[in-house]
Chain A
Amino acid sequence: GAVVSQHPSWVICKSGTSVKIECRSLDFQATTMFWYRQFPKQSLMLMATSNEGSKATYEQGVEKDKFLINHASLTLSTLTVTSAHPEDSSFYICSAVSRRRASGANVLTFGAGSRLTVL
């Protein structure tokens, strides 16, 4: 089945530094990837839609200059949290559209997530 790999799975950084999270589709091409953020015991909140070869589309309230998204190839999207602060500590999850072999339907395949802790 489709696999989405996310790296790193967890990262601790100092306040003011930048952190890059990678999202890769391992066995399929993804023109569109999505970045979500999840706080404890809350739902996954869509941050932005990452489009290969073009600018990301950000959801309302998400600072595009703080959360830089680059989708340079059909298998890789990156999220960079710039000048991270403790309130940016969260679980970040990416997903990509893949096609189920049995039904041919499109489904979102998620990465395992990246837990960011900003000290």
Chain B
Amino acid sequence: DQQVKQNSPSLSVQEGRISILNCDYTNSMFDYFLWYKKYPAEGPTFLISISSIKDKNEDGRFTVFLNKSAKHLSLHIVPSQPGDSAVYFCAASAHGTSGSRLTFGEGTQLTVNP
């Protein structure tokens, strides 16, 4: 049972345009959501997070939107840069902080073309 799903295995965008990565979840107990970025042969690195009490969190070029009623979140990157090319994982936690167990999506490979 995949509780966190990223339905798009890959996404390709032009440099300077917006990248939108999507994530859906099924467990209504999830109350904290994170996005991680992963380069080949490296571990995931934390990008941005959002608590379920918010519907938007912004950090520089990265913005995460949460739609609790739809159990959907998205990561917007604007403007996209070639260095953003990586696999992006959506993750969720049911205990309010990332200090507990995370459930990950399958990841989306983002390619930003110069």
Contacts and interface: CB of A to CB of B under 8 A. Distances in A.
The size class of the interface chain A forms with chain B is: 20 to 34
Interface string B70-114: 000000000000000000010000000111011111110000000
Given A4-B43, A46-B102, A106-B98, 13 more contacts: A6-B43, A9-B41, A34-B101, A46-B103, A105-B49, A106-B97, A106-B99, A108-B34, A109-B46, A110-B36, A110-B43, A113-B42, A113-B43
Given A32-B99, A34-B101, A108 B46 contact: yes
A32 B102 CA distance: 13
Q: Mostly helix, strand, loop or mixed at chain A's interface?
A: strand
B54 to A, nearest CB: 13
Contacts of A32: 99
18 contacts: A41-B9, A41-B106, A43-B2, A43-B105, A43-B106, A44-B104, A93-B43, A95-B43, A97-B98, A105-B97, A106-B99, A107-B34, A110-B36, A110-B43, A110-B44, A111-B43, A113-B42, A113-B43
B36 to A, nearest CB: 8
A13 interface: no
A2 B96 CA distance: 21
Q: Mostly helix, strand, loop or mixed at chain B's interface?
A: loop
Contacts of B66: none
B45 interface: yes
Interface in B23-73: 34, 36, 41-46, 49
Contacts of A93: 43-44
B95 to A, nearest CB: 11
Contacts of B34: 107-108
Contacts of B46: 107-109
Interface string A1-34: 0001010010000000000000000000000101
A51 interface: no
| Residue from A44, A49, A110, A111 with most neighbouring chain B CB atoms (10 Å) | A44
B4 interface: yes
A89 to B, nearest CB: 16
Interface string A33-70: 01010000111111001000000000000000000000
